[in-house]
Structure 1
Amino acid sequence: MSAIAAPRPVFPFSAIIGQEEMKLALLLNVIEPRIGGVMIMGDRGTGKSTTIRALVDLLPLIAVVKDDPYNSDPERYELMSEEVRLRKQRGETLEVVYRPLPLVDLPLGATEDRVCGTIDIEKALSEGIKAFEPGLLAKANRGILYVDEVNLLDDHLVDVLLDAAASGVNTVEREGISIRHPARFVLVGSGNPEEGELRPQLLDRFGMSVEVHTVKNPRQRVQIVRERSTFEEDPVHFHQKYKDQQEALRQRLVCAQKKLSHVTISDELQLQIAEICGELDVDGLRGDLVLNFSARALTALEERDTVTAQDVERVAVPSLRHRLRKDPLETIDSGYKVLKVLRRVMGLPEAS
């Protein structure tokens, strides 16, 4: 019997150079999933996929009910499948195993059945049971659902993903039979704007939007190439080199998740956030919510108890830039426009 090869180490999150906005947005979504995911737009070859996979490798293992296809949490009812919930209510002892956080890739050619799952009508009618084959949304529960080139995905599939991401539940209905299961995941999309943009109403459903650009600094480019080459030559040794940094960041995330519920934001800051969103003519209240959630997550990550104006400033651009109405005659960058309004409302000095 041949031995099973150990999985190849993933490029460490702590070793990724640059792209600070993207890294911070991903970390904040892990701390506070209610932010609503991240849309990453930028040039090819800027480390989008590498960073997402590195993030999952960084995160601690999660407790799941053994042999459950939905990665059910053994303690939290809202993260349990219906079957596990009933077993829990009957007082059964649930066998628990620890697994890495799920990372599910959604291929561009996926069908709706592949994404949502399918109901076997014939079996349901003949045997009187709800025969359900779980899809990608079930596998992504409590994890990350990653859609590369999301701007090329069929609109109806994007609608399905965003509805599930917003509600935390996937519902499949066919011939009068309905199946519901938990589908709480962080939705991460990436794409190249040269290949087309997302419809504004869909882009708005992503909590944060970040832009990544090719590094121009020659010294930084050389450093990136060297690090990548070293990793390719000996990934195990390279991973060992960053072991302490990875563990320190992992502990920061765990502490931040625990601390989040104790972080406070003043009424004055919340009013200023509302004024900023109003002046930027942001539709709805999603921008207000995301800015509140992300500022609190940043405060927790930095091990503080109270949100400051500087915290709001640091997360305002990725939280709001994609919610501004497009004006073809506008020459000001959307990120600069967000900061200009924010600094005026909050009385912060203009950047030099």
Structure 2
Amino acid sequence: MVTTNITENLIRPVFPFTAIVGQEEMKLALILNVIDPTIGGVMIMGDRGTGKSTTIRAIADLLPEIEVVMDDPFNSHPSNIELMSEEIKNSLQDDIILSTKKIKVPMVDLPLGATEDRLCGTIDIEKALKEGIKTFEAGLLAKANRGILYVDEVNLLDDHLVDLLLDAAASGWNTVEREGISIRHPSRFVLVGSGNPEEGELRPQLLDRFGMHAEIRTVKDPILRVQIVEQRSLFDLNANEYINRCAEEQEELKARIVNAQNLLSSIKIDYDLKIKISEVCAALDVDGLRGDIVTNRAAKAFAAYNKRDIVTSEDIQQIIVLCLRHRLRKDPLESIDSGDKVMKIFNEIFN
């Protein structure tokens, strides 16, 4: 019993997601990506000190535990083939009974100075050549499988690493090849990037690969600012008591997310609405079809989150700016904000 208390005290308390004041765009984008990771992650751009890191850690802490195969470095799912490593697949084919355990959803931070080996993992070539054994040291992409991979200041990260990240996030797999030896493992995660636009923009080709884009600004309302400061002070004073006070709201939101995940596969979107989404994308001159695909997925996730089985135009209205604003071509002479431009075209097409 003493050991348990010591362990609990060693775990750093996380500020409750439901207690975060404001920043509704960021919170909605994170929730929708958790409901449907195929949306493709979210890029959060905004001022320093606006709670980006706090909110991202809070959503990871909120999620229900997942079942994994014990002693597996990839957080392999015990029955879903798409979420398990080759070794686990072979074990199942050989009718080996695997032990499992429940863990919290992995939340992995990618430091700015990370190398490719640290991100993707490394193969021990010497051991492979001498003993014929594939020895793989798992990287951050392996640890993030079935979880959240967070890159703070992604706009300062080496472009080569950003490419690797986005490729893994899009395909759900990471492949490491060296000297003719190849290792492939599942790497399905919600990719969350954050940054401050003053420190440099992300290349348009890379920005387009993020499913959603949330913009956050420093709260100007003095009453809200005081509320945020007071909430944080209460948490710092006695974190456990504050967390307990928010427990009921946290459980309600957790249940709502799980319910939405279960509903997602049954959500329908009318053909007419799909046509209108594509009309908006075409009118905005959005390159490629990612905008169309992400908007459809996000609208379904939003409908599921609100316990509806059919997508409405109101659902699309709530998410379309998040899905399209970062895909617009930059025109230095244009004064209208990209989000306002998306809504203007939306209103014209959806009447």
TM-score by length of 1: 0.97
Give CA deviations for 1:82-121 in whole Å, capped at 9, x if unaligned: 0001111111111110000000000000000000000111
Work out the CA distance in 2 between the residues paired with 1:140 and 1:122.
27
> Deviation at 1:55?
0.4
User: How far apart, in 2, do the equivalents of 1:328 and 1:239 lie?
Assistant: 46
- Aligned mate of 2:342, from 338, 343, 349: 338
Are residue 289 (structure 1) and residue 286 (structure 2) matched? no
CA apart distance, 1:298: 0.3
CA distance in 1, matches of 2:27, 2:113: 28
State whether residues 146 and 189 of structure 1, in contact with CA within 8 Å, keep that contact through their aligned partners in structure 2.
yes
Q: For residues 300-319 of structure 1, what are the alpha-carbon distances to aligned partners after superposition, in whole Å with 9 as ceiling and x for unaligned?
A: 00001110001001100010
In the other structure, the counterpart of 2:14 is 10
Task: Give the letter for the 1:147 counterpart.
Answer: V
CA distance in 2, matches of 1:47, 1:187: 17
The answer to whether the aligner puts 1:94 opposite 2:109 as a matched pair is no
Find the counterpart in structure 1 of residue 135 from structure 2: 131
- Cα-to-partner distance string for 1:36-75 (whole Å, 9 max, x where unaligned): 0000000001000000000011000000000000000001
Q: Give the % identical residues.
A: 66
Tell whether 2:280 aligns with 1:280.
no
Q: What corresponds to 2:251 in structure 1? A: 247
Q: Which letter does structure 2 place at the counterpart of 1:168?
A: G
Q: Bigger CA drift: 119-128 or 87-96?
A: 87-96
Task: Report the 3-state secondary structure (helix = DSSP H, G, I; strand = E; otherwise coil) of the residue aligned with 1:344.
Answer: helix
State yes or no: 1:193 paired with 2:197.
Answer: yes
Cα deviation, residue 9, structure 1:
2.1
For the residues of structure 1 that align with 2:238 and 2:143, how far apart are their CA atoms? 32
State the alpha-carbon separation in 1 of the partners of residues 166 and 299 from structure 2. Answer: 23
Amino acid at match of 2:203: R
CA distance in 2, matches of 1:89, 1:333: 55
1:264 touches 1:307 (CA, 8 Å); kept in 2? yes
- In the other structure, the counterpart of 1:217 is 221
Match of 2:38 among 31, 34, 41: 34
Distance 1:310 1:89 in 2: 47
1:109 paired residue number = 113
CA distance in 1, matches of 2:7, 2:103: 18
* Offset, 1:5: 3.8
Separation in 2 of the partners of 1:277 and 1:90? 49
Which residue is 2:184 aligned to?
180
1:54 corresponds to 2:58: yes
Q: How many angstroms does 1:322 deviate by?
A: 0.2
2:301 is the counterpart of 1:313? no
> What whole-Å deviation, never above 9, does each CA across 1:164-213 have from its counterpart, x for those lacking one?
00111101111111110001111000000000000000000000000000
Secondary structure (helix, strand or coil) at the match of 1:69 reads coil
Is the partner of 1:225 in helix, strand or coil?
Answer: helix
Q: Quote the residue 1:350 is aligned against.
A: none
Residue 230 of structure 1 is matched in structure 2 by: 234
- 1:8–1:235 CA contact under 8 A, matched in 2: no
- Structure 2 distance, partners of 1:76, 1:198, is 35
Match for residue 68 of structure 2? 64
Q: Post-superposition shift, 1:132?
A: 1.0
AA matched with 2:264: L
Does residue 267 of structure 1 match 2:255?
no
Q: Match for residue 19 of structure 1? A: 23
Q: State how far apart, in whole Å, the 2-side matches of 1:122 and 1:218 are.
A: 62
Deviation at 1:239, TM superposition (A): 0.4
| 2:301 counterpart SS class | helix
Q: 2:303 aligns with which of 299, 302, 306?
A: 299
Backbone CA RMSD of aligned residues = 0.8
CA distance in 2, matches of 1:289, 1:297: 13
2:81 to 77, 82, 87: 77
Partner of 2:146: 142
Q: Name the CA distance, whole Å, in 2 between partners of 1:324 and 1:89.
A: 48
The answer for unaligned runs of 5 or more in structure 2 is: none
Q: Which consecutive unaligned segments of at least 5 residues does structure 1 have?
A: 348-352
Answer whether contact 1:31 1:257 (CA < 8 A) is retained. yes
Of 108, 111, 123, the match for 1:119: 123
Task: Output the amino acid matched with 1:308.
Answer: T
Q: Which amino acid aligns with 1:95?
A: S
